[in-house]
Amino acid sequence: MILDEAGDDYVTRTGMTEFYVQYFKGLATIEGARLQTVIEVLLQKFHLDQKIRIDFEEFYSIVSNDPTLLQCLCQFTVSPQWYFRSLSDPPPEKNKVRQAFSSCCCKREIFEQQKKKLSIHYITDNLSRLMMLMLYILINIGLLIYVTIYRVTTTKSHALVVVARICGMLLNFNCAFIIVLMLRQTILLIRSNRVLRKLIPVDDHIDFHGVVGRVITALSFLHAIAHIAYIAALTNYSMATYLFFMNLGIGWVNGFAPLSGIILLLILVTMVICSMQWVRSGGHFGVFYWTHLLYLPFYVFLIVHAEDFWKWIVGPLSIFLLEKLYSIFARYTSGIGRTCIHTATIEQSNVISLTIHRPKHFSFQPGDYVSINLPRVALYEFHPFTISSAPEETDFIRVHIQAVGNWTKRVYKRFDEMSDEEARENQVKISRADIHPQEFAAHVQNLEQIEIVEVEVERIENFPTESNAKEGKREPIFIKGPYSSCARYVFDCKHVVLIGGGIGVTPYASILSSLMAQFRASSIVCKHCNRMNYLSTGLSGKRRLQKVDFVWVSPDYKSFEWFLNLLRQFEQEQENYLALNLNEKRFLDLHLYFTGIKHENNIGNAPLELVTRVFAQVAGQDIFTSLKSKTNFGRPSWEIIFNRFISGENASTANDVSVFFCGPSSMGEAIKRQSAICHFRYFEEKF
């Protein structure tokens, strides 16, 4: 037996202590005073807090009378490699025949999934997407047929000219349409209307923008190749004369068409390359941002290059310019987008939280995001971040930033290295949650309970923020937005499953904070007995949203102590509500998965499972998060999780369940696939 190191049928206090000290040293999940507390709880469970050792009979009696211990210890069937320092043989290689068979089965499964993609359920769930895609294809086909008939029958053009003209007409349409896909204020209005957002798939506008961009790139090269081939085959001019000189008079502006076409291709190639995923997510977002601003000269040269393009662009471009003018006005107006930073909190694992004074006329919904500019970090750069605070917090808004790119690292470094004197000059509070995260979370909760916000508001109102920002006395910040996302639909659903991967929990922080604020607003205190209760508009009120399942997958819980604090508060509110309303159902269920826990080859996580269950029994909370909800290890099985939502007591129907995801794209693909199998509606955060 593992716990009987000497093999003398005794489990000793020293042996169990050394076993778990060494075990947790390898896991690096629980350290310091927390580890000592955990070991003390475990020793207490086995009566080793009072005794130096126990014999087999006493150990057997303790285990047999406790189902939790019995279930956990039955996994201790072999010796762990790391404890006895014995190197086992390397795992045997899989048989090649078995590998080939597995590969064939996998390919067959993928083929079956592809066949199901055009099922009735798939078409029903994606009707608006399919209709929009079909409309887009039909418009392009219609233009292609029109140009072909006109050029072949009317103008009797050469085949290469026909190809060039077809591409030119399609480019007119696509270059105008791609602007429509990025009209953010218009998209915000569509999302706010239930009927319009069902008819128009606005949640796919960024993906569609990328698709149309690829179509434009392909058409542009085909258009250029057709023209060059025609000139090379049928004219007496050299290629250099045709491409770089204007004396041939080709084009409607002094023969500028060939040269402007070359410039357009260079701009387009630059924009396409710098918008690749490996550029945007590889810490070079600034490169993507600045090169994408080349759309301004692109459209100027395109209007000069193509005689009729202005007719296609005048409508979309007018709306786009109006939105841009409003955006510029709003971001530099003190009541809408011009404000200053109140607090910068240095979180663990290179995360910083900025608490910003909320402008007087700034309005947003849970899950919305903003683009922010810190002029003392970079004068002109705006970067998008989800608002992690609730709309009900009228004085402040909050964003969480992970230092992964050049700009975000500079933001983190500025406040991390800001001296006390500089912080006082800029009137910014610098809080260090990375040093003692749990103590800091408790401190924040106490501040909320004594409601010091009123004092802060009074101080702010007596302080002219905009004038101070001009004089450089405060830390200025400019906000562009808010911009909507699919998270706005949460409150229109009956049963939502919120899935966050790592820092992807920030949209759901705003949603959960808003739900908790609404819930707290429904609490009342009886004037006669001073007992607290809740109005009928609490968790089970008249709102459509009746159930929330929150699934969080993260490699490390230590990085998100700020978010765990929110979950603890919501969990406590729910416990208070259920204690006073025994007939009510749970509104929020938490499903936490930490993937950073090492899995030992021989015994898996059996020792850790034992400790976590024992600690939960004795302390009444999870060993890692201090929540009542259990922490799971490893990656979740989406099939098992999703089936629980539609089976068992108080289960929902598939039509009532909506899945919202924000996180890595690889995880999103698996969740989207399982949602389609279960016929759940699926929404994904995209910026």
pLDDT at position 543: 66
CATH 3.30.465.10 at 492-523+541-596+634-685, yes or no:
no
pLDDT for 91 beyond 50: no
Q: What is the pLDDT of residues 187-204, one digit of tens each?
A: 888 888 888 888 888 888
The answer to whether 457 and 469 are in contact (CB under 8 A) is: no
CA gap 182, 171 in Å, rounded: 17
Q: Is the dihedral of CA 139, 140, 144, 145 positive or negative?
A: negative
With bands split at pLDDT 50, 70 and 90, how would you rate the model's confidence at 32?
low
Q: What is the pLDDT of residues 144-165, one digit of tens each?
A: 999 999 988 888 888 998 999 9
CATH 3.40.50.80 maps onto the chain at: 492-523+541-596+634-685
pLDDT at position 54: 79
pLDDT for 107 beyond 60: no
With bands split at pLDDT 50, 70 and 90, how would you rate the model's confidence at 565?
confident
Q: What is the pLDDT of residues 588-607, one digit of tens each?
A: 889 988 887 655 544 556 67
Q: What is the pLDDT of residues 162-171, one digit of tens each?
A: 999 999 999 9
More confident residue, 687 or 256: 256
Q: What is the pLDDT of residues 286-330, one digit of tens each?
A: 788 889 999 999 999 999 998 889 999 999 999 999 998 988 888
Topology (CATH level 3) of domain 338-423+473-484: Elongation Factor Tu (Ef-tu); domain 3 (2.40.30)
Task: Classify residue 545 by its DSSP letter.
Answer: -
pLDDT for 16 beyond 70: yes
Which position has the token pair 């001019």? 237
pLDDT for 110 beyond 70: no
pLDDT for 129 beyond 60: yes
Q: Which of 82-91, 266-275, 565-574, 662-671 has the lowest mean pLDDT?
A: 82-91
CA gap 117, 653 in Å, rounded: 21
With bands split at pLDDT 50, 70 and 90, how would you rate the model's confidence at 460?
very low
Q: What is the pLDDT of residues 351-410, one digit of tens each?
A: 889 999 999 889 898 888 999 999 999 888 888 898 989 898 889 999 998 888 788 899
pLDDT for 251 beyond 60: yes
pLDDT for 231 beyond 70: yes
- Provide mean pLDDT across the span 496-509: 87
The answer to whether 595 and 553 are in contact (CB under 8 A) is: yes
pLDDT at position 162: 92
CATH 2.40.30.10 maps onto the chain at: 338-423+473-484
CA gap 591, 633 in Å, rounded: 11
> What is the distance in angstroms between the CA of the first residue and the CA of the last residue of the chain?
54
pLDDT at position 235: 63
More confident residue, 650 or 420: 420
CA gap 88, 82 in Å, rounded: 10
Task: Classify residue 307 by its DSSP letter.
Answer: T
- Structure tokens that stand for 554 in this block: 């993260």
- Structure tokens that stand for 348 in this block: 């663990």
CA gap 324, 598 in Å, rounded: 50
- Provide mean pLDDT across the span 88-92: 46
- Structure tokens that stand for 9 in this block: 């049928």
- Provide mean pLDDT across the span 510-535: 78
The answer to whether 58 and 74 are in contact (CB under 8 A) is: no
CA gap 213, 206 in Å, rounded: 11
